[in-house]
Amino acid sequence: MTVTVPGPTLGVVGGGQLGRMLAEAAAPLGVEVIVLDPTPDCPAAPVVRDQVVGDFDDEAAFRELASRVDALTFEIELADADLLDEVADEFGLSVHPSPETLSLIEDKLVQKRALADAGVPVPPFHRVDDADDLREALSEFGSVMLKARTGGYDGRGNVPVHDESDVEDAIDAVGGPAMAEAFVDFERELSVIAVQGDDEVRTFPVGENIHEEEILRETVVPARTTDEVLERADEVARDVLSVLDGRGVFGIELFETPDGDISVNEIAPRPHNSGHWTIEGARTSQFEQHVRAVLGWPLGSTARRSPTVMANVLGTVDEARPARLGSVESVLAADGASLHWYGKDEVRPLRKMGHLTVTDESGEADEDAGERLLTRARDLRDGLTFE
C-alpha cells in the first residue's frame, strides 16, 4: 500500500488514558484522532482533534464519530460491538480489531471457551449462573476465582472463593452471570503485547507483571525467568492471535507455573497497561503500533531498547478529591526516568493516575538489571504525593 502524510483521521471509542496515549503516538505520523467518551473533557481531550460526548452505546454519538473519520478502533471493551459493526458498514469504514473479536473477548466465558477449543492452554473453568454452579466448581477445582463475565477490570468483578461459606456473598458481589476459574499455583504473571498487522504478526519482549489487590503495580522487562519460558510465552501469545480476527494490539496476560508451563489468564483487544513500558523501552511503542495496524500500515520494530521497568502511579488518598500530584521534581531529575500523567481531574483510592518508566541507559540486560530498576522505579513512584 501507499502511505502519505498528513494521514487519515482515526476514530477511537474511549477517551481515557489509552485514548490519550494513542493520540500522542498518532500525531507524529500525521494521523489526527477524534474520540468518543461519555465524560466531557476526558483525559484524551487535550491531545486529540475533537471529542464526541456520548455513552459507549449511544447510536447518535457513534454515527457522529463515524461521519468524521476514516477508520475506527476502540480503547475500551465497553464499546458496543454490534453498534461499531453497524456504523462501520453504514459509513463504509474499517473497524479494527473486528467487532466479532470484541464480542468474543468482552465475555470471559466465551473467550475461555474459544481459546480452549483452539487448543490454547487455559486454567480449568466452569460456567456460573447461580450458587449451585459455584458450589459445583468448588467441588471440582477447590479454591476458585469467581469472575464477572463482562465489565470487570483492575480486579473489579473478581472474587476469590475458598469454601462453601463464601458462596452466597461471592454471588452477590459479582451480581450477574459469572465464570469460576481454578486457582493457578503460579510462579509469576507474564504478559505479551502482540501486534496483528495486515499480513504479519509481531510480539514485544515478554514482561513480568507484579500485582497487588488484583491491580497491576509494576512491569519488568525483560521478565525474570528462563529463556525456555520466554519462548513458550511468545509461542502461546501467537497461538492466541490465531483465534482473534482483525488488526491491532492485543495485551495477553499469562500465568507461569513453577514447572514452567504457560496458560492464558485474560486478553485485552487493545493497548494494555503492561505495555506502557514500550513508550521509552522499545523501538516502536504499543500505541504507535496500534495506530499503524488498524490503518493497515507497515508495523514498526518491537525490539527492546533497554531493560525497562514501568510503575503505575495510583491514587493514595482515602477519598475522592481534585487531582494534584506533588514531588514530581524527583522523577524529572532522575536519569532514565520518564513520567506520564493521565490528566484525570479527580484522584480516587487506587485509581490509575499515571505511570513512570525507568530505563537502563547501558542497554545491558544483566542478571540484576530487573531488580535494580524495579527498586529504583518503586522509590521514585513512592516519593510522589497527592497534595
Q: In what order do the strands lie in the sheet with 9-13?
A: 50-53, 32-37, 9-13, 71-74, 94-95
Regions of the chain short of the pLDDT cut 70: 152-156, 363-365
pLDDT at res. 367: 73
- pLDDT tens digits, 75-126: 999 999 999 999 999 999 999 999 999 999 999 999 999 999 999 999 999 9
pLDDT at res. 116: 96
User: Which residue type sits at 81?
Assistant: A
pLDDT at res. 155: 60
The answer on whether 106 is annotated among ligand-binding residues is: no
3-class SS at 273? helix
Instruction: Domain 9-95: state its class.
Output: alpha beta
pTM for the full model?
A: 0.95
The answer on whether 182 is annotated among ligand-binding residues is: yes
- Domain locations along the chain: 9-95, 124-182, 188-386
pLDDT at res. 213: 86
The answer on whether 266 is annotated among ligand-binding residues is: yes
pLDDT at res. 4: 87
**Which cell numbers in the block locate residue 102?**
470484541
pLDDT at res. 361: 74
The answer on whether 367 is annotated among ligand-binding residues is: no
The answer on whether 168 is annotated among ligand-binding residues is: no
CA–CA distance, 51 with 21 (Å, rounded to integer): 15
The answer on whether 183 is annotated among ligand-binding residues is: yes
pLDDT at res. 363: 59
pLDDT at res. 124: 95
| Domain made up of 188-386: CATH architecture | 2-Layer Sandwich (3.30)
pLDDT at res. 153: 64
pLDDT at res. 81: 96
The answer on whether 211 is annotated among ligand-binding residues is: yes
The answer on whether 147 is annotated among ligand-binding residues is: yes
Topology classification of domain 124-182: Dna Ligase; domain 1 (3.30.1490)
